[in-house]
Structure 1
Protein backbone atom coordinates (compact mmCIF):
# COMPACT_ATOMS: atom_id res chain seq x y z
CA UNK A 1 0.00 0.00 0.00
CA UNK A 2 1.28 3.45 -0.90
CA UNK A 3 0.99 6.04 1.87
CA UNK A 4 0.77 9.80 1.36
CA UNK A 5 2.83 11.87 3.82
CA UNK A 6 2.31 15.64 3.82
CA UNK A 7 3.14 18.70 5.88
CA UNK A 8 0.21 21.02 6.59
CA UNK A 9 0.16 24.47 8.11
CA UNK A 10 -2.19 25.46 10.94
CA UNK A 11 -2.95 29.12 11.55
CA UNK A 12 -4.62 31.06 14.37
CA UNK A 13 -6.97 29.06 16.60
CA UNK A 14 -5.69 25.78 15.10
CA UNK A 15 -2.33 26.35 16.82
CA UNK A 16 -2.10 24.37 20.09
CA UNK A 17 -2.31 26.45 23.30
CA UNK A 18 1.26 25.50 24.26
CA UNK A 19 2.60 27.18 21.10
CA UNK A 20 0.18 30.10 21.39
CA UNK A 21 1.59 30.74 24.88
CA UNK A 22 4.99 31.17 23.22
CA UNK A 23 3.53 33.75 20.87
CA UNK A 24 3.25 31.42 17.88
CA UNK A 25 0.31 32.01 15.55
CA UNK A 26 1.30 29.37 13.01
CA UNK A 27 2.52 25.78 13.25
CA UNK A 28 3.07 22.76 11.01
CA UNK A 29 1.83 19.19 11.36
CA UNK A 30 2.55 15.92 9.58
CA UNK A 31 -0.32 14.09 7.93
CA UNK A 32 -0.14 10.41 6.98
CA UNK A 33 -2.94 9.50 4.60
CA UNK A 34 -4.75 12.65 5.69
CA UNK A 35 -4.54 11.93 9.42
CA UNK A 36 -2.45 14.03 11.76
CA UNK A 37 0.47 12.14 13.30
CA UNK A 38 2.51 13.37 16.21
CA UNK A 39 2.87 16.85 17.58
CA UNK A 40 2.63 20.32 16.10
CA UNK A 41 5.96 21.84 15.09
CA UNK A 42 7.04 25.45 15.55
CA UNK A 43 8.98 25.41 12.28
CA UNK A 44 8.37 23.97 8.83
CA UNK A 45 11.91 22.53 8.84
CA UNK A 46 11.10 20.41 11.92
CA UNK A 47 7.92 19.14 10.28
CA UNK A 48 9.84 18.30 7.09
CA UNK A 49 12.35 16.28 9.16
CA UNK A 50 9.47 14.36 10.73
CA UNK A 51 7.93 13.82 7.28
CA UNK A 52 11.22 12.40 6.02
CA UNK A 53 11.36 10.01 8.99
CA UNK A 54 7.80 8.84 8.28
CA UNK A 55 8.63 8.25 4.61
CA UNK A 56 11.75 6.29 5.54
CA UNK A 57 9.82 4.15 8.00
CA UNK A 58 6.95 3.51 5.59
CA UNK A 59 9.30 2.72 2.70
CA UNK A 60 11.30 0.32 4.86
CA UNK A 61 8.10 -1.55 5.67
CA UNK A 62 7.19 -1.92 1.99
CA UNK A 63 10.53 -3.32 0.81
CA UNK A 64 10.46 -7.02 0.02
CA UNK A 65 12.58 -9.29 2.17
CA UNK A 66 15.26 -11.01 0.13
CA UNK A 67 16.19 -14.49 1.31
CA UNK A 68 19.83 -15.46 1.13
CA UNK A 69 20.87 -18.88 0.03
CA UNK A 70 23.01 -20.91 2.37
CA UNK A 71 26.25 -21.73 0.85
Structure 2
Protein backbone atom coordinates (compact mmCIF):
# COMPACT_ATOMS: atom_id res chain seq x y z
CA UNK A 1 0.00 0.00 0.00
CA UNK A 2 1.33 3.38 -0.92
CA UNK A 3 0.12 6.51 0.73
CA UNK A 4 0.82 10.12 1.44
CA UNK A 5 1.06 10.92 5.14
CA UNK A 6 0.74 14.53 6.28
CA UNK A 7 0.28 16.47 9.49
CA UNK A 8 -2.43 19.12 9.44
CA UNK A 9 -3.33 21.79 11.96
CA UNK A 10 -6.88 22.34 13.16
CA UNK A 11 -7.89 25.68 14.65
CA UNK A 12 -10.92 26.90 16.57
CA UNK A 13 -14.13 24.91 16.11
CA UNK A 14 -12.18 22.16 14.30
CA UNK A 15 -10.49 21.29 17.60
CA UNK A 16 -12.28 18.38 19.33
CA UNK A 17 -14.44 19.33 22.30
CA UNK A 18 -12.27 17.48 24.82
CA UNK A 19 -9.24 19.58 23.85
CA UNK A 20 -11.28 22.81 23.70
CA UNK A 21 -12.54 22.11 27.24
CA UNK A 22 -8.89 22.07 28.35
CA UNK A 23 -8.38 25.49 26.77
CA UNK A 24 -6.72 24.27 23.56
CA UNK A 25 -7.49 26.38 20.51
CA UNK A 26 -5.29 24.41 18.13
CA UNK A 27 -4.44 20.76 17.54
CA UNK A 28 -2.70 18.58 14.96
CA UNK A 29 -3.97 15.51 13.12
CA UNK A 30 -2.40 12.92 10.86
CA UNK A 31 -3.82 12.52 7.37
CA UNK A 32 -3.36 9.42 5.25
CA UNK A 33 -4.16 10.18 1.62
CA UNK A 34 -6.09 13.24 2.80
CA UNK A 35 -8.21 11.35 5.37
CA UNK A 36 -7.79 11.86 9.09
CA UNK A 37 -6.34 8.89 10.95
CA UNK A 38 -6.40 8.48 14.68
CA UNK A 39 -6.81 11.09 17.34
CA UNK A 40 -6.08 14.79 17.52
CA UNK A 41 -2.79 15.70 19.16
CA UNK A 42 -2.13 18.65 21.43
CA UNK A 43 1.39 19.11 20.06
CA UNK A 44 2.92 18.97 16.61
CA UNK A 45 5.73 16.76 17.96
CA UNK A 46 3.18 14.09 18.96
CA UNK A 47 1.56 14.26 15.52
CA UNK A 48 4.97 14.00 13.82
CA UNK A 49 5.75 10.87 15.88
CA UNK A 50 2.48 9.33 14.72
CA UNK A 51 3.24 10.35 11.12
CA UNK A 52 6.63 8.64 11.36
CA UNK A 53 4.94 5.46 12.63
CA UNK A 54 2.49 5.52 9.70
CA UNK A 55 5.35 5.99 7.25
CA UNK A 56 7.29 3.10 8.78
CA UNK A 57 4.24 0.85 8.56
CA UNK A 58 3.55 1.81 4.96
CA UNK A 59 7.18 1.26 4.00
CA UNK A 60 7.16 -2.15 5.71
CA UNK A 61 4.10 -3.16 3.67
CA UNK A 62 5.70 -2.28 0.35
CA UNK A 63 6.56 -5.43 -1.57
CA UNK A 64 9.83 -3.99 -2.80
CA UNK A 65 11.07 -2.99 0.67
CA UNK A 66 13.88 -4.89 2.29
CA UNK A 67 13.08 -6.66 5.57
User: What TM-score does the superposition give when structure 2 sets the normalisation length?
Assistant: 0.92
Instruction: Output aligned runs, 1:3-18, within 5 Å.
Output: 3-18=3-18
Q: Shift in Å at residue 65 of structure 1?
A: 7.3
Runs (4+) of structure 1 exceeding 3 A deviation are 63-66
Between the two structures, name the one with larger relative contact order (CA 8 Å, sep ≥ 6).
Answer: 2
RMSD: 1.6
Structure showing greater Rg: 1
Q: Shift in Å at residue 20 of structure 1?
A: 0.3
- Equivalent pairs, count: 66
Unaligned runs of 5+ in 1: 67-71
Unaligned runs of 5+ in 2: none
Cα distance change, pair 40–62 in 1 and its aligned pair in 2 (3 A):
same
Give the corresponding residue for 1:35.
35
List per-residue Cα deviations over 1:13-33 (Å, max 9, x = no partner): 000000001100000000000
